[in-house]
Structure 1
Amino acid sequence: MVRSEIRLRSDDDGPRFWTRLSFSSQFFLAAAIVLFVAMAVLGTWVNDQIKHSVLVTSGAQGASFMNGFLEPLVQDINTDGTLPAESHERLDDLFIGTALGRTVASIKIWVADGADATVIYSTTKDLIGERFVSTDVERAAAGEIVAEYEDLISQESAYEQTLDMALIEVYAPLYRTGTDQVLAVGEIYENANALAEELAISQMTSWLVVLLTTIFMLAVLYAIVRRGSRTIALQRSDLQRHVAEAQAMADQNSLLRIAADRARLDASEANEQLLARIGSDIHDGPIQLLSLFMLKFTKMGGRGDDRTDVQKALEGLFNSALSELRTISSGLSLPEIEELSPREALELAVFRHEDIVGTRVTTNFGDLPEFLTHATKICAYRVIQEGLSNATKHAPRAQQSVKALVVGGWLEIEVADDGPGVRQTDNIVSGREKLGLAGMRNRVGALQGNLEVHSELGVGTRIKVTLPLEGGEHQPRPANDVS
């Protein structure tokens, strides 16, 4: 269990470690790995090419050596593939115990028969007459010069493996003079201690150059990426700051909008309260005084036929004035809907219209909310009252309908008739909407609602009002469309 937990923690820490690094640090690590691997491959290839070039040069020199000293001494090789005793003596005199012999560590002469080869001469006398399988001898017998460095693993090089020195092994074909016929294959082992030192210095130099080049490239790339990373970081910081500022501004605008909506609602409530107070003052003041004055006037003038025509005319004017004042007072104040539910308030507006006009209105009230603000309730009441009044005025014999329902956090009220309809210009007086429609639009606009009037000649008129519900999740409100 402990082992499993440790493994899981290490798996999680890896990505976290990487993501915690900056972009420039991630690039530095990735680029360092890639560059060092690439340069290691390049350095290895360069060193191999240097070694190959040295071997080619050494092979060519060894071949020239054998062509100059060994080839003349194998021209009298016997038909059975052996060297005459005289050739052995001359080779020994040439290479054993002489200054020329000290330039090479060992010499062999081979006769190849396919992959098998026989040693017909060697400075190591125990090998003469021995047969070995040697692909290098086979390649040289085919006319190829073969050079190898520190590759002494074959059985026939057992003696050379005991020497404490670096060796280059060269195989070269020995031709019959004046022809391309290979008589034998010569093999020499050259002392390569000096070459080994030169190769070590060359390899060290090449690796140092590769390393310095890699570090320089990595430093230049890192500097460029670091600068870009800093620029990106600054831009990201600026962007985050701007986003934060924009978010703060949006939040502030949202709070201001909510405050403005609340102020409009409060203003609408205050306006309705002001209108109610004015209506109450008119009812309790001028109407009561005129009623008292009318009572006194009636007592002073008598009853029935005792009244003069002037008295009768004045009495009619007083009655008309009282009726107008009562109408204005009732229009300004609706104290009776204060305690009514939204459905009851809308039904009251329809009932009063039916009672006054004497017509039947079709209603379709959906699932209405249990509570509306007083301003919204009064506005809905006035919309139905004014809409039905306008319908009766313009289409007295038309069928009228009222529909109210809640859609997407909005209260939708529609007052319609199937009368002859009106043109849009008929609702305009001296460039302004008629008083009833204008008042309705002002009431709706004060609550951040929307008013649409659709009317076509011969089709009818439809007034649609949408009012926001307090606390509702509102869908986008449609734009005003008056036609």
Structure 2
Amino acid sequence: MAMSAPHGGATRPEDRPWSLSRQFALSGGLVMVLAAALAGFITSGIVTRATVENTATSTALFMDSFLSPHLQELATSDILSPEASGALDRLLDSDAFEGRFPHLEIWKPGGLVAYSRTKELIGKKFPPPEGLLEALGGKVASRYADLDAEEHTIRHFNKAYLEIYVPVREYLSGRIVAVAEIHEHPGAIERRLFHVRLQTWLVTAALTLLLMASLVSIVYRGSRTIATQQEKLRDNIRAVQQISEQNRVFKERAQRASSRLAELNARYLRNVGAELHDGPAQLVGLAALKVEHIRRARTTAKREENLASMETALSEAIREIRTISKGLMLPEIEDLPLCEVVDLAVSAHKKHTGTKAAVDCDLPEKAFPHAVKICVYRFIQEGLNNAFKHAGGRGQTVSCKIKNRVLTLSVEDEGGEREGWQSAREAGLGLAGMRDRVESLGGTVTISSKSNGGTRVEMKLDVAEAEKNA
């Protein structure tokens, strides 16, 4: 949900909430960096141990072939003979061995030194190193030199050599008779371990980045989809709100129009009642008085005179009643196509006023609600009557079209020397009734002036909406 900016202003970028992809990139990135670091340390340690063990095994196999022949006498002796010790000295003094293996001790079980490049150690007994104990168990052991060990402090070791403990077996029995402790310079293996660790970290980092990129990509697409759907949802909500507001306005307009239409109908009925009272009712009352005069007439001539007067009054009353009735009744239009209803209204106007009106009706042959037909007929009737009254019937035109189920009907004139009927649009019942009739069906009415001084009155009506409101 978006955060609103203070004081009703636009939302600043720093105030906007982070997207799911950014939140995941931060939190997931931290978690994966920690996981990658942990995995790197664990993997690096495993690879380091494996590399040291492989190096120790290779060195053990390499040195065993040179040392074992000179150490067989330790199966029966605790100290090497001068001949065997001299042979080892000559072997280890060669350039091939001295540069790589600067020190060598041969241990007997219990911590006795049977041979050493450092002669003062020979015959002495020291606490057995852990590597010695492992080698006596038949394993090749390797570890970095403990500089605090007694045998190292005597020689003032300041470099942590790689110590490799190799069991020495008797040829015939295979039992372990001694252990060779080989000191190897750590430079070569340290370089190898550096490259191994570097490769391990690079692979771990690459896999982490690849995994992170793939996950972020998935979350990013999901975040974009959610954001798009949220935006569409907000648009739909706004559209629904707008439609709801429009429906509310239309409903209020229709209610007002229906109320005004009911009021106009009541006023119209009062006018009809007044017309009946002031016209036909008076004449019928006059005829009723003549009846009494006829009864009292003493001569035939007087009776005939009163009968003639009564007949005249009744004939005038009947004529006025018919005239009023014509204005109340519509011709039979329910079964007619809408274009014929338009033609019928124009023909009726021509018959009553003697003026012509051009008709442009382009409608499909389809059924329209009866309420729409009545509305069209009354609209044309009122529009042409006003055009005749205020413009003398000059340039009368009726146009009726439909597009996308919206019916558009207009009545135009070219104006005249009489007072324009727009100035009287609030005065009579006709325009108000016409507008309320159209709005009660959900339509609208507009009145506009033309450039030539004429007037155009137009109604727009959604046929589908009219069917609901009819």
Instruction: State TM-score, norm by structure 1.
Output: 0.50
- Equivalent position of 1:200 in the other structure: 194
Kindly state the Cα deviation for residue 151 of structure 1 after the two structures are TM-superposed.
5.9
- Equivalent position of 1:63 in the other structure: 60
Structure 2 counterparts to residues 372-383 of structure 1, below 5 A: none
- Equivalent position of 2:258 in the other structure: 264
Given that residues 105 and 116 in structure 2 are in contact (C-alpha distance below 8 angstroms), is that contact kept between their aligned partners in structure 1? yes
Distance 2:59 2:192 in 1: 19
Distance 2:211 2:244 in 1: 48
Distance 1:27 1:295 in 2: 102
Kindly state the Cα deviation for residue 111 of structure 1 after the two structures are TM-superposed.
3.2
* Residue 19 of structure 2 is aligned to residue 22 of structure 1: yes
Given that residues 167 and 193 in structure 1 are in contact (C-alpha distance below 8 angstroms), is that contact kept between their aligned partners in structure 2? no
Kindly state the Cα deviation for residue 172 of structure 1 after the two structures are TM-superposed.
1.6
Deviations 1:417-462 (A, max 9, x none): xxxxxxxxxxxxxxxxxxxxxxxxxxxxx999xxxxxxxxxxxxxx
- Equivalent position of 2:238 in the other structure: 244
Kindly state the Cα deviation for residue 190 of structure 1 after the two structures are TM-superposed.
0.6
Distance 2:150 2:285 in 1: 148
Distance 1:161 1:206 in 2: 37
Tell me how many residue pairs correspond in the alignment: 304
Distance 1:122 1:111 in 2: 12
Report the more deviating stretch, 168-177 or 205-214.
205-214
Distance 2:194 2:141 in 1: 22
Which residue of 101, 104, 128 corresponds with 1:104?
101
Kindly state the Cα deviation for residue 206 of structure 1 after the two structures are TM-superposed.
4.0
Kindly state the Cα deviation for residue 110 of structure 1 after the two structures are TM-superposed.
2.7
Kindly state the Cα deviation for residue 31 of structure 1 after the two structures are TM-superposed.
4.3
Gaps of 5+ in 2: 1-12, 298-302, 322-438, 442-467
Kindly state the Cα deviation for residue 161 of structure 1 after the two structures are TM-superposed.
9.8
Q: Which amino acid aligns with 1:301?
A: R
- Equivalent position of 2:165 in the other structure: 171
Deviations 1:19-55 (A, max 9, x none): 8222332233244334434443454455335423432
Distance 1:64-1:107 versus aligned 2 partners, 3 A rule = same
- Equivalent position of 1:370 in the other structure: none
Distance 1:159 1:197 in 2: 27
Distance 1:301-1:24 versus aligned 2 partners, 3 A rule = same
Secondary structure at 2:104's aligned position in 1? strand
Kindly state the Cα deviation for residue 169 of structure 1 after the two structures are TM-superposed.
1.5
Kindly state the Cα deviation for residue 289 of structure 1 after the two structures are TM-superposed.
4.2
- Equivalent position of 1:130 in the other structure: 125
Secondary structure at 1:109's aligned position in 2? strand
- Equivalent position of 1:357 in the other structure: none
- Equivalent position of 2:79 in the other structure: 83
Distance 2:23 2:197 in 1: 32
Which residue of 285, 288, 295 corresponds with 1:294?
288
- Equivalent position of 2:146 in the other structure: 152
Secondary structure at 2:182's aligned position in 1? strand
Coordinate RMSD, CA, aligned: 4.9
Kindly state the Cα deviation for residue 186 of structure 1 after the two structures are TM-superposed.
1.9
Given that residues 166 and 196 in structure 1 are in contact (C-alpha distance below 8 angstroms), is that contact kept between their aligned partners in structure 2? no
Deviations 1:129-148 (A, max 9, x none): 33425443222112111122
Secondary structure at 2:259's aligned position in 1? helix
Structure 2 counterparts to residues 51-450 of structure 1, below 5 A: 51-77=48-74, 82-83=78-79, 86=82, 89-90=85-86, 93-94=89-90, 99=95, 100-112=97-109, 117-124=111-118, 125-126=120-121, 128-132=123-127, 134-148=129-143, 150=144, 152=146, 155-156=149-150, 158-159=152-153, 163-212=157-206, 214-215=208-209, 218-219=212-213, 222=216, 226=220, 229-230=223-224, 233-234=227-228, 236-302=230-296
Distance 1:102 1:160 in 2: 22
Which residue of 30, 33, 37 corresponds with 1:36?
33
Secondary structure at 1:187's aligned position in 2? strand
Distance 2:52 2:124 in 1: 29
Kindly state the Cα deviation for residue 292 of structure 1 after the two structures are TM-superposed.
4.5
Distance 1:214 1:208 in 2: 10
Kindly state the Cα deviation for residue 170 of structure 1 after the two structures are TM-superposed.
1.0
Deviations 1:143-181 (A, max 9, x none): 111122x36376356449954545221112111122221
% identical aligned pairs: 26
Secondary structure at 2:268's aligned position in 1? helix
Distance 1:263 1:201 in 2: 90
Distance 1:257-1:128 versus aligned 2 partners, 3 A rule = farther
Distance 1:198-1:447 versus aligned 2 partners, 3 A rule = closer
Distance 1:20-1:91 versus aligned 2 partners, 3 A rule = farther
Q: Which amino acid aligns with 2:24?
A: F
Instruction: State TM-score, norm by structure 2.
Output: 0.51
Distance 1:159-1:69 versus aligned 2 partners, 3 A rule = farther
Given that residues 170 and 176 in structure 2 are in contact (C-alpha distance below 8 angstroms), is that contact kept between their aligned partners in structure 1? yes
Deviations 1:176-215 (A, max 9, x none): 1222211122211111212212322342344345435544
Distance 2:247 2:293 in 1: 66
Kindly state the Cα deviation for residue 263 of structure 1 after the two structures are TM-superposed.
0.9
Kindly state the Cα deviation for residue 76 of structure 1 after the two structures are TM-superposed.
2.9
Kindly state the Cα deviation for residue 88 of structure 1 after the two structures are TM-superposed.
7.9
Deviations 1:334-371 (A, max 9, x none): xxxxxxxxxxxxxxxxxxxxxxxxxxxxxxxxxxxxxx
Distance 1:25 1:177 in 2: 69
Distance 1:54 1:143 in 2: 20
Deviations 1:229-266 (A, max 9, x none): 55654554455334423432332132112211221122
Given that residues 168 and 191 in structure 1 are in contact (C-alpha distance below 8 angstroms), is that contact kept between their aligned partners in structure 2? yes
Given that residues 78 and 84 in structure 1 are in contact (C-alpha distance below 8 angstroms), is that contact kept between their aligned partners in structure 2? no
Kindly state the Cα deviation for residue 270 of structure 1 after the two structures are TM-superposed.
1.6
